[in-house]
Structure 1
Amino acid sequence: MTAPVFPPAPWYLTGDMIISVWRIPAAELPPWPLPPGSRPWITRRRSTLVTFWVDYRGESVLSYREFLIAQAVRHGRRTAASTVAAWVDDEQALHGGRALWGIPKQLGTINLRAGTGRTHAELLLTDAPPVRAVHRTALQLPVRIPARAHLVQQLPGGAACRVPLRISGRPGIGRTRLTTGPSTPVSFLDGHRPLVSLTMRGFRGTVGRP
């Protein structure tokens, strides 16, 4: 079967997202493979994770939904992040993320419902309990804030790949509560609460370089 054709890099993306930062005991995490030259950034026996629930739409090169987990790492002398797990509901996004940047995307059913001050998110997987999150916004900032970051990933051939990210949007600060069962790929998050959570409404971003 021929893989779906996907847009070339960079990808221009718009939409809404929920971002949460977690500090999880390193001993509770899976032994995720990391790019060459990278190792988990662990302090006080805890690893830092960042989760993203994203609804890409509008002027995005592709319209799809995603749940992504990135781990803070040390790459050489620098601190970066590496995507260790991701689910999308679109095959173009899956194959493009894997081929262009080595992001280990998988297919899943993702539901995102945004209301006034509250967003519900859900990841449905085959033969596993659902993963659900509820974010309640306490403070919505009226201005757009820009940010830059980069991922370090391992390409299919084994080489390390640096993926630049640029984003701007209106952040809303609040709380996210995630629930899941003990037999899901993200069960290590069950029973923990994020250090900080925020929404990014109407964001505009770029992933990768030409």
Structure 2
Amino acid sequence: MNAPYPPPPWHLRGTLHAALWPVRADRLPPWPLPPGVRPLRLGRRRAVVTFWVDYRPGGTLAYRELLVALAVRGGGSVGACAVEAWVDDPASVAGGRALWGIPKHPAAFVHDSPEPRRLRTGVLVDPAPTDAPDAPHAPCAPLPTALHQPLVRLPGRVPLRARLFQPALPERPHPCEVPLRLTGAVRLTRTRLRTAPGAPLDYLAGLRPLAACALEDFRFTIAPAEPSQTA
């Protein structure tokens, strides 16, 4: 029987908006991490990165995503753990969970441009994620939304390599590491977030990101998962 998702690697393309948030540890949910992986410490704060992504036709799949990553140390390396994710494509939900241990859940997205050169993105998620019973997200109003204002575009295209350290999920019962490769044109941006208690990203309510940028016309490769080396 064929799997309900494409095999790895996935080659994706599109545009993303990323923001870096220094957050006090006591504000964050108790996200599970793989054995031997610890949050990267910024004093009493942790580094959280949000990604609002529009994966466009021409890649392995086309869908929209809100992903939250926690900066971590795994062994002697610095990387990230994808701790929350919502997408509007069932193949991405199933593949993300089974192939890479990324806790994806279904969602509906809203994209609009309230003012020239600005983009608002919002997400409505399903309540009570099955793998996080201690911290369910109930439907709420207003929806979690982010307003992205483009600023200066940097010259050239920037190549990036990173690694995810993912814990076990029911669909993938062993921790794994995921090599990532990304290239795109970088534009500095200003991001503002609006959320509400009990909604996704409520731990960022009232905060401002330390930095934000967009990666335009990116090419992104998610390689096959590798066994964890941190346990």
Task: Classify the TM-score, shorter chain.
Answer: over 0.9
CA distance in 2: counterparts of 1:70 and 1:192, whole angstroms: 17
Say which is worse superposed, 23-32 or 69-78, in terms of deviation: 69-78
Deviation of 1:183 (Å): 1.6
Q: Hey, which bits of structure 1, 4+ residues long, moved more than 6 A?
A: none
Q: 2:174 aligned with 1:159, yes or no?
A: yes
CA distance in 1: counterparts of 2:79 and 2:155, whole angstroms: 29
Deviation of 1:111 (Å): 2.1
- Residues 153-177 of structure 1, C-alpha deviation per residue, up to 9 Å, x if partnerless? 1233542211111111111102100
Q: State the match for 1:42 in structure 2.
A: 41
TM-score between both structures, scaled by the size of structure 1: 0.93
Q: State the match for 1:32 in structure 2.
A: 31
Q: 1:128 aligns with which of 140, 149, 161?
A: 140
Q: State the match for 2:88 in structure 1.
A: 89
TM-score between both structures, scaled by the size of structure 2: 0.85
Unaligned runs of 5+ in 2: 127-138, 226-231
SS in 2 for 1:100: helix
- Give the aligned residue type for 1:20: A
Q: State the match for 1:169 in structure 2.
A: 184
- Give the aligned residue type for 1:128: C
Deviation of 1:40 (Å): 1.4
**How many percent of aligned residue pairs carry the same amino acid?**
43
Q: State the match for 2:193 in structure 1.
A: 178
Cα contact 1:99–1:155 (8 A) shared by 2: no
Aligned residue pairs: how many? Answer: 209
CA distance in 1: counterparts of 2:168 and 2:199, whole angstroms: 26
Q: 1:144 aligns with which of 151, 157, 160?
A: 157
- Residues 70-90 of structure 1, C-alpha deviation per residue, up to 9 Å, x if partnerless? 001121222210000000001
Cα contact 1:13–1:59 (8 A) shared by 2: yes
Q: State the match for 1:16 in structure 2.
A: 15
Cα contact 2:86–2:125 (8 A) shared by 1: no
Q: 1:148 to 1:52 in 2, by over 3 A?
A: same
- Residues 81-102 of structure 1, C-alpha deviation per residue, up to 9 Å, x if partnerless? 0000000001100000000000
CA distance in 1: counterparts of 2:97 and 2:165, whole angstroms: 13
Unaligned runs of 5+ in 1: none
Q: 2:214 aligns with which of 185, 190, 199?
A: 199
Q: State the match for 1:102 in structure 2.
A: 101
Cα contact 2:34–2:166 (8 A) shared by 1: yes
CA distance in 1: counterparts of 2:93 and 2:36, whole angstroms: 25
- Residues 125-180 of structure 1, C-alpha deviation per residue, up to 9 Å, x if partnerless? 35223100011111012421111111011233542211111111111102100000
- Give the aligned residue type for 2:145: R
- Residues 56-81 of structure 1, C-alpha deviation per residue, up to 9 Å, x if partnerless? 01211111000000001121222210
Name the Cα RMSD after superposition. 1.9
Deviation of 1:116 (Å): 5.2
